[in-house]
Homo-oligomer: A and B are copies of this chain.
Amino acid sequence: MKQELYFSNEVASTIEEVVAQINPSKIFVLVDTNTAYFVLPQLQQTSQIIANAKVITIPAGDLNKNLESLSLVWRELTLESASRSSLLINVGGGVVCDLGGFAAATYKRGIHCVNIPTTLLAAVDAAVGGKTAVNFQGLKNQIGVFREPDAVIISSIFFKTLNQHEILSGYAEMIKHALLKSEKEFARVMKFSPIDSLNNNDEYLEMLRDNVAIKADVVKKDPTEKGLRKALNLGHTAGHALEELSLERKNPIAHGYAVAWGLVIDAVLSSMLFNFSSDTLHTLANFVKENYGAYDISCKDYPHLIELMRQDKKNPDADHITFSLLKAPGKLELDAVATSEQISAALDIFCDLMGI
């Protein structure tokens, strides 16, 4: 299925255009308890299509990205006799897009699906690329399929309801995309101000258009992560380990923050293993330190962090810890393998750079 990306701050008319192309027999809107309150009423006022659609609401939060919420969606679709030509429109952040995408991919073996991401993180990450999923047994995104939505409508008008923390969380993925693309894109994201620019919708949309295109291009070339798509894991092996550590400490950090710190760790490893430029590493580390602060780890945490990296689902087996690294912005080193000693050394440098 071909995924169409729409960048528009005229959301209602874009919805009309997309729905006219799909021509569904019935329309459902999936929201969580947050977007039901903060976003849906406004969309219902401007869009006749959304106003007339049947609304399905799941509880908000990653803890509810589970089989129970998924069954709720399947049940509502069943009760309302959704057919294969029905359409599910996901209006929300990553949880709604991922879980709704999986529900749509599996109900009657697949119905139409459109994502309208309402957070910056979802717009640049979850909504695009077809990685649908739910958590299972405490493991993130353990159950899912690769299945791209029919369309994604990306708009910056929703982001004004987000707090600074949420904006920065999304921006980490944009930094990642820029690192994958080129020196020039990297310089651009280092200069852009993700918070202040919210006042300029056109400028923001332009930035999103270019940045999301980087991810869409990678996904198009390798939809099921056999090769190139692994590039998108930049910052994520170390990032996920920090995220899980924070869960164990019962003081969870946002995914995007973990990715921002993970990007610095991966840049350190890249500089150790592939001569990634020290200047670029410092530019990145300073940007991250200034905007995201630092996460408090010490050398006592290293063995456990390395163990968590070892368990990452992207590793082919338990004996190797693989990373997606860089020779330079835009120059990828997929399937890089680092030893425990190298990772420990990288974590030491990371702590220095972050001033921990």
| A317 adjacent to chain B (CB < 8 Å) | yes
Of A57-65, A138-146, A171-179, A290-298, which stretch is located at the interface? A138-146
| A209 adjacent to chain B (CB < 8 Å) | no
B145 touches A316 (CB 8 A): no
Q: Residues of B contacting A141 with CB < 8 Å? A: 109
A142 touches B108 (CB 8 A): yes
Given contacts A81-B318, A83-B315, A315-B83, contact A74 B136 (CB under 8 A): yes
Q: Residues of B contacting A316 with CB < 8 Å? A: 25, 83-85
A146 to B225 Cα, complex, angstroms: 19
> How big is the A interface, by class?
35 or more
Q: Residues of B contacting A315 with CB < 8 Å? A: 83
A205 to chain B, nearest CB (A): 30
B139 touches A109 (CB 8 A): no
Given contacts A142-B74, A143-B74, A317-B25, contact A109 B137 (CB under 8 A): no
Interface digits, A144-164 against B, CB 8 Å rule (1 contact, 0 not)? 111100000000000000000
Given contacts A74-B143, A143-B74, A316-B25, contact A109 B133 (CB under 8 A): yes
B74 touches A110 (CB 8 A): no
A110 to B81 Cα, complex, angstroms: 28
A199 to chain B, nearest CB (A): 39
Task: Find the residue from A109, A131, A317 having the highest chain B CB count within 10 A.
Answer: A109
CB pairs A–B below 8 angstroms (11 shown): A67-B67, A81-B318, A83-B317, A84-B313, A105-B145, A106-B106, A108-B143, A108-B313, A109-B145, A110-B145, A110-B224
In order of increasing CB-CB distance, the 3 nearest A-B pairs are: A109-B144, A106-B143, A78-B137
A78-B142, A106-B143 are known contacts; what are 11 more A-B pairs with Cβ within 8 Å?
Answer: A78-B137, A83-B315, A84-B313, A84-B314, A84-B316, A107-B143, A109-B141, A109-B224, A109-B225, A110-B145, A145-B147
